[in-house]
Chain A
Amino acid sequence: MTAFGIAILQVCSCFGFGACALTALGIQKELPYWEQWTWSFAVGFGLLGWLLFFFGVIGWFSTVPLILVLGLGSCGVLLLKPLTQAPHTNTSAVKLNSWCCLLLTAIVIVAAIDLFEGLSPPIDGDSLAYHFVHPKNFLTLGRIEFIPRAGDGAIPLLVHMTYVPVLGLGGERALTLWVMFSGWATSALVYTLTRRFLDIPWSLSVTLIFLSTPAVLYGGGSGQVEIRNALFVMIAAFAIIQSIKTSNIRYAVLAGLAAGFFMGAKYLGLLFVATGGIVILAQPHWFRHGLVFSIAALAAGGQWYVWNFINSGDPAFPLFYGYLDYVNPNYWSAEYQEAFNKIWKLEKAVDQNIFWFFSYPFATTFNMHKVFEAGRTGMGPFILLALPFAILSIWASRKKLIQSSLLPLAAIAIIFYAFWFFTSPSQRIRHLLPVYPLVLLCVSVAAHRWAAGAGHLKILAGAVFLTCTVQLFGQLIFGLNYAHRLFTNEKRDAFLNRTVTGYAPVRWINNNLKSNSLVYTEARQLIYHFKVPVYYGHIAVDALIDTRSNANNPTKFYHQLKAQKISHLLAIGSIPNKKSYNLERATGYNQWHSLWHMGCLKHIKSFKGPVFASRTLKSLSTRKLNFHVLKLNSSNCLSSKGDI
């Protein structure tokens, strides 16, 4: 119950902080009733993440300050109109027909499956590698620490900051419940914004489509930040619309804050700030609003770039390597820059040209390349199915298109997509999830308007039905794993054993190694579950221990391990015997093969277990992996001849 209480307290604090900010800006009273709640949560979520950065820098990641910040934020809820004053929906009551009931039932089913996930230990790979690991480590230290890793360490961590209070005060379950609640908040915001344009049944339809989108299903209940960044994108986009429509500078401030929160949560947010900046300039007060927008964005999201700059010498580590002087030369090298660029190349499947700019959305819908990761973690089929309706709608209203309130939304989505497509090093479709609600909203509203006018609403409803059916089927399959755990009272270790590749050795290490040990491993999916200190090695993002794929210097490898005070290795693969050992192939992670032959490692224990390529579809992989717990010996082994 503590976990649930803490998660709820943090939800209240987000409502409270957001209500304070919106009241201070004088925006609160101008919003429809339910939007006051959803906007407050989104803004409060960003503010909480922003505030906690400074708590972390000061070293206030302990019980009392964290309770105080959540308690203080929760007081702001009093600024929101109570639920008893919620507007009645008499005019729509008639429309709460069987169609509505069906949609609500489906939404409840999806929510129940989310709850199953929220009540289970985390098993998503990225969350276990870093999303939940950084908050856990910061709590152990009581403060924020600079992590000299490219891509998953020295990154903007505004959303991750919100994981700190729940994990610190309520434990793991509070954390998983919190990500569930914050994922739902995005769907609630989608609903309330859609209600501006559509009636209740169609707004519920759009919400269900969003809630069951594969990318939302994939990231909503885990530590992935994209779905939570969608909160900031929606607030920024609608605030920009209001700023243009009303020339009210307070909306430019809000738009800047929201865009800045995105910038503080992910590097892609920089592209969004640029996008918002371009769109907000399209008005008579372009200079004033543009200036205010930029200042607010920098204030809301600039702290992480300053932090990175102070600690590494590069505000977007390691983007400016070679152009700026680094604080510590060991943090990065030209070789690592090359290795880093090489792995990004693997994330590109198509050329960044005009042809693919237009073709990419179709190519990803049909998952034409595995790099897109568009099947099980894609955006679903609805946009494609509703596309002709939306195009006909645009054609039908072409003369008054410029006055459409959807135009700025579409412009933001398109410009962001253009920036992303031509500059992003990765082509994974789920990175576009933050702007997906804008696309969904534009396409749904345009399609509905035309279909309603032309008498083709039933076909559009059919597209909604097909989309929801296939997505809900995916949701149900996804939920089976968690439902099995809950309804069979499966123990935590048993659940992790059958879901996380290589969990067995971690369990053994937690029970047998002392807390002054430091284990080196490349197995990213295991990092979070270690209870003893762990060092996560990587072939391209961590230069302190050189495991680049062509690295083949066991002596240097040994000294780097020792410099980081590594005591044990959790190595993957087979222990090479004298016949199978080949120095040429003992590269990268496999440099431990050479250390083994030099007598620098002592075998402690071995494990063999299945590889789980998917949380949901276990049979996608039938491979098995060997894990070895090895102890690092003293440096005498380096002077001996060994077997090399």
Chain B
Amino acid sequence: MSYATIKILLLLWVLSAFALYLYQFKSLIKPLLAALGLQ
């Protein structure tokens, strides 16, 4: 695999894994906003 391909794959991994990690907190959005005084 070329350097560029590996770079893109790594980038995709980091971004998609991070997005998936954040997804678990979807139910906390409202409580978070409330804690910040925004709701």
Give me the interface of A with B, judged by CB distance under 8 Å. 365-367, 375-376, 381, 384-385, 388-389, 454-456, 459, 462-463, 466, 470, 477, 480, 614, 616-620
Contacts and interface: CB of A to CB of B under 8 A. Distances in A.
Contacts of B14: 385, 459, 462-463, 466
**CB-based closest 5 A-B pairs:** A617-B31, A381-B21, A619-B34, A367-B24, A619-B31
Contacts of A618: 31, 34-35
Contact of A456 (B7, B35, B36): B7
Contact of A375 (B7, B24, B34): B24
A367 B6 CA distance: 29
Given A367-B24, A384-B17, A617 B35 contact: yes
Contact of B35 (A455, A462, A477): A477
Contacts of A366: 20-21, 23-24
Interface string B1-28: 0010011011101100110111111001
Nearest to B13: A388
Contacts of A384: 17, 21
Interface of B: 3, 6-7, 9-11, 13-14, 17-18, 20-25, 28, 30-32, 34-36
A375 B29 CA distance: 13
Contacts of B10: 388-389, 456, 459
A455 B35 CA distance: 41
A140 B23 CA distance: 48
Nearest to A381: B21
A477 B36 contact: yes
Given A459-B11, A617-B28, A619-B35, 14 more contacts: A366-B20, A375-B24, A376-B28, A381-B18, A381-B21, A384-B17, A385-B13, A463-B14, A466-B14, A470-B22, A477-B32, A480-B35, A616-B35, A620-B31
Contacts of B31: 614, 617-620
Nearest to A466: B18
A619 B28 CA distance: 10
A618 B28 CA distance: 11
A375 B32 CA distance: 14
B15 to A, nearest CB: 8
A385 to B, nearest CB: 5
A454 B28 CA distance: 38
A470 B19 CA distance: 11
A571 to B, nearest CB: 29
A614 B25 CA distance: 14
B6 A454 contact: yes
Nearest to A473: B32
Contacts of B9: 388
B32 A459 contact: no
Contact of A617 (B17, B22, B24, B34): B34
A381 B13 CA distance: 12
B23 to A, nearest CB: 8
A480 B36 CA distance: 8
17 contacts: A365-B21, A366-B21, A366-B23, A367-B24, A384-B17, A384-B21, A385-B18, A456-B6, A462-B11, A462-B14, A480-B36, A614-B31, A617-B28, A618-B31, A618-B35, A619-B31, A620-B31
Contacts of B6: 454, 456
Contacts of A466: 14, 18
A189 to B, nearest CB: 27
Contacts of B20: 366
Contacts of A455: 3
A247 B29 CA distance: 54
A616 B31 CA distance: 9
Nearest to B24: A367
Nearest to B25: A375
